[in-house]
Amino acid sequence: MDVRVSHVRKEFDRFPALHEVSLDIKSGELIALLGPSGSGKTTLLRLIAGLERPTSGKIFFGDTDASEKSVQERNIGFVFQHYALFRHMTILENVSFGLKVRPRSTRPPAGEIRRRAMELLDLVQLSGLEKRYPSQLSGGQRQRVALARALAIEPAVLLLDEPFGALDAQVRRELRKWLREIHERTGHTTVFVTHDQEEALELADRLCVMSQGKIEQVGTPDTVYDTPSSPFVFGFIGESSELPVTVERGDVWLGDRPLGISAADGQGPAKLFFRPHDIELVEGDAALRGVVATSRRVGGTRRVELELGGASHRVEIDLPFDHPAGERSQISFRPKRWTLFPAT
Ligand code: ATP
């Protein structure tokens, strides 16, 4: 089912949690809503679910205006950060619940419900644990039950709100891979809320980056990472270094120093953004030159913080070797890939 959020605004007591946002979610895609705390991710998810009503604007499920429909009418599968499993029910009963409470006219026969629930437990790799209670499972296993329960009703849309937020880093990584596999097998239209950019980059077909109740950019992980549309997105997705520069007749300058890179258009003050790994070491004057301030290990490389222009600016670059800090450690480099934004 494709979902169209059209000019939706949401206020809480006159506070605009969402300014007019529009978003087309394609049938079968996994889209991640990504942004810092308070950017409006959960509000947008709750509006899609039908747990909140828009102050203005509409939400379409396929061609149908769903704005006034309830959660049940929209047929939503939900997984939250804190497992909302029923504690007094077994795992099998939890997964069967959504089908058992259906009105008689749409409820499958008991045998069919059981068969479907067992199939889903197999899909989430929990076969054999169906008689256990939630308290007898690990956090990761409980989230897998929650997903099986959400899938049992064959939802039109699956909504996941920080589903792995409460789990430790390793379990998170495993569940991420696993969710991607399940998604490929089941193909549900899925909206996933996270503030973890690594999780979003790895999992999603497309990212929707949000800030202060607005959508900043929507695109594939590659597009958003390689061509961020704003300084906010550049800084939020991946590591970034930023310098205030001037563009003059196609050349980029930091103060009175030419950087040896050219700008196709634009003139005057600008912000230069680049990623720590997108640099090359160079000789000569047309380059950035700095003194090593700090150096630390990041995975297989060293992340080195350089002071430029007499300590007036700091940037981070990645080097394949260690460098002692101090005046004697001067490094000249040039960004290999960069983005210029107008300085506003
Ligand atoms: P987080 O990552 O912290 O969950 P978020 O991006 O999901 O943040 P929302 O929960 O959507 O952000 O909140 C967006 C803004 O709307 C916040 O400023 C929040 O305080 C406000 N807000 C959300 N729900 C309500 C509510 N029920 N009443 C009043 N204000 C609310």
Q: What is the ipTM of this complex?
A: 0.94
Whose Cα sits closest to atom 19 in ligand 1? 38
Chain centroid offset of residue 140 CA? 20
Q: What residues are paired with 219 via a beta bridge?
A: 207
Q: How far is the CA of 227 from the centre of ligand 1 (A)?
A: 28
For the cut 80, the answer to whether the pLDDT of residue 248 exceeds it is yes
Q: Which atom of ligand 1 is least distant from the CA of 13?
A: 29
Q: In 3-state terms, what secondary structure has residue 98? A: helix
- Ligand 1 centroid vs 271 CA: distance in angstroms? 31
Residue nearest atom 16 in ligand 1 by C-alpha distance:
17
Q: Which of 41, 46, 210 to mutate to test the pocket of ligand 1 (most atoms within 8 A of CB)?
A: 41
User: Does the pLDDT at position 328 exceed 80?
Assistant: no
Write the burial class of residue 333 (CB in 10 Å: 0-12 exposed, 13-18 middle, 19+ buried). buried
How large is the angle between the packed helices 139-152 and 110-123, nearest 10 degrees?
140
Report pLDDT digits (tens) over 296-310: 988 888 999 999 877
Determine the distance separating the centroid of ligand 1 and the alpha carbon of 38, expressed in angstroms.
Answer: 5
Q: Which comes out higher in pLDDT, residue 322 or 148?
A: 148
| Cα pseudo-dihedral 208, 211, 213, 219, rounded to 10 | -20
Closest C-alpha residue for ligand 1 atom 27: 12
**Structure tokens given for 52:** 């909140």
Nearest CA to ligand 1 atom 10: 42
Q: What is the mean pLDDT of the chain?
A: 90
Return the residue whose CA atom lies nearest to atom 17 of ligand 1.
38
Residue 150 Cα distances to 84, 158, 217, angstroms: 11, 7, 29
Looking at residue 83, its pLDDT comes to 62
How many whole angstroms from 59 Cα to the centroid of ligand 1? Answer: 19
The pLDDT score that the predictor gives to residue 103 is 83
Averaged over 82-110, what is the pLDDT?
A: 88
* Closest approach atom of ligand 1 to CA 35: 6
Confidence grade of residue 326 (pLDDT, cut at 50, 70, 90): confident
Atom of ligand 1 nearest to the CA of 10: 16
Whether the CB-CB separation of 230 and 258 falls below 8 Å is answered with: no
Q: Is the pLDDT of residue 327 over 80?
A: no
Pocket lined around ligand 1, Cβ cut-off 6 Å: 12, 15, 17, 35, 37-43, 195
- Is residue 178's pLDDT more than 80? yes
> Tens of pLDDT along 41-81?
999 999 999 999 999 999 999 999 999 899 888 999 988 87
More confident residue, 148 or 285: 148
Pairing label, strands 301-308, 313-319: antiparallel
The answer to whether residue 313 scores a pLDDT higher than 80 is yes
Residue 329: predicted pLDDT: 79
